[in-house]
Amino acid sequence: MTAEHRHVGKSSVPHRGMHADHEGRLTYWQLLEISVRELLVEKGVTSAGEIASEIAAMDGRSPADGARLIARAWSDDGFRKRLLSNASSAMAELGLDPSGLRLIAVENTRYVHNVIVCTLCSCYPRNLLGLPPDWYKQRAYRSRVVRSPRAVLREFGMELPDHKTVRVHDSTADMRYIVIPERPAGTDGMSEEELVGLVSRDAMIGVAEATRPQERD
């Protein structure tokens, strides 16, 4: 590795020649990523522009698309059933491109609460919800939510009554999961567009309830 490489930025930052004055030393894995990326560009396998546009597309995704799915499911019972039976094709109904995402929707009810984790790494429906929050990728959440989900949910501010069964979903292979939260009380007259604003990222992971209308803002 040349001295020049030690001054490059971290992953997803343009490489040679970019001085990153406030960065610490690069880790082994950051250097490896930069080296492989540069080789792929130099060999013409991909281009810097292609990499930049993929990063921009990923950064541009947000939980908003997921919230649209949930709001539609709350508003249209037929859609809710289709979302539960084949979530990827239900996505396409809203004009969302599943692009390989194999999505499973799990529904919270009066008797069941669902929560999502990936204990092995950080599998997450990124096409739909954007990048996962940092805590989702950390060992504390990944190891504890499968062992003591009620205690972890309490730390997120959710006290689950005894009559609710908790179902933890470990995304160990090809499926990705989204939670359909319970529709909050007091929302009967709300339009689908208004309901979208009640669906947070955390509610779709299962570590929060949907926002009640009076709690908004």
- Nearest distance in Å: CB 169, another protein: 5
User: Is 35 marked active-site?
Assistant: no
Minimum distance from CB of 81 to another protein (Å)? 16
| DSSP alpha helix (H) spans, the chain | 28-42, 48-60, 64-75, 77-85, 87-93, 126-129, 134-137, 139-147, 149-155, 192-196, 201-205
* 169 touches another protein by CB under 8 A: yes
Residue 197 C-beta: closest distance to another protein, Å: 30
CA distance 47 to 24: 27
Q: Is 173 in the site for another protein (CB under 8 A)?
A: yes
Give the type of residue at 34.
Answer: I
Is 119 among the residues that bind another protein (CB under 8 A)?
yes
Any catalytic annotation for residue 191? no
Q: Please tell me the chain's helix, strand, coil percentages from 3-state DSSP, rounded to the nearest 5.
A: 45, 10, 45
Separation of alpha carbons 154 and 176, rounded Å? 24
Stretch that binds another protein, among 4-12, 24-32, 162-170, 186-194 (CB under 8 A): 162-170
The residue range among 12-20, 44-52, 160-168, 193-201 that interacts with another protein, by the rule CB under 8 A, is: 160-168
